[in-house]
């Protein structure tokens, strides 16, 4: 048995932060049939030109009446930058998505 006199006290701080929710997600759509999905490909990396068509195909198999607005229909900055971005300021993106009739958005594809 250890002696309490030789014990070491260690103070530990939790790496977990307090949960802070500033905005809530929109409610889940009941179906994608008849809905319009907009694609945003933020960085121009991760082979979106290959993966977005596959995502479209798989979603159409499950939801035959789904419509897509492809990433190529959004104004995109193609000049070399550390991180390419859309030419629309962030605070204007919601309005642009609404103008395209988006019911849902696929934001990137994660490679």
As a residue count, the chain comes to: 111
Pairing type for strands 67-69 and 36-40 reads parallel
Write down the pLDDT at residue 44: 66
Q: pLDDT tens digits for the chain (111 residues)?
A: 556 677 788 888 877 777 777 778 889 999 999 999 999 877 666 778 888 999 999 999 999 999 999 988 877 655 555 555 556 666 788 888 999 999 999 987 664
φ, ψ of residue 108 in degrees (nearest 5): 70, -170
Contact between residue 66 and residue 97 where contact means Cβ atoms under 8 Å apart: no
Give the position of tokens 């035959």.
64
Q: What does the domain layout of the chain look like in residue ranges? A: 29-107
29/35 Cα distance (integer angstroms): 9
């Amino acid at each position: 048995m250890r002696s309490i006199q030789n014990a070491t006290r260690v103070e530990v701080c939790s790496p977990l932060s307090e949960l802070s929710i500033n905005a809530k997600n929109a409610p889940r759509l009941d179906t994608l049939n008849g809905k319009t999905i907009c694609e945003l490909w933020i960085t121009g990396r991760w082979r979106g030109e290959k993966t977005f068509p596959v995502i479209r195909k798989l979603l159409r198999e499950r939801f035959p009446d789904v419509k897509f607005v492809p990433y190529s229909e959004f104004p995109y900055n193609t000049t070399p930058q550390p991180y390419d971005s859309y030419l629309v300021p962030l605070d204007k993106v919601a309005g642009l998505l609404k103008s395209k009739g988006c019911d849902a958005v696929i934001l990137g594809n994660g490679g």
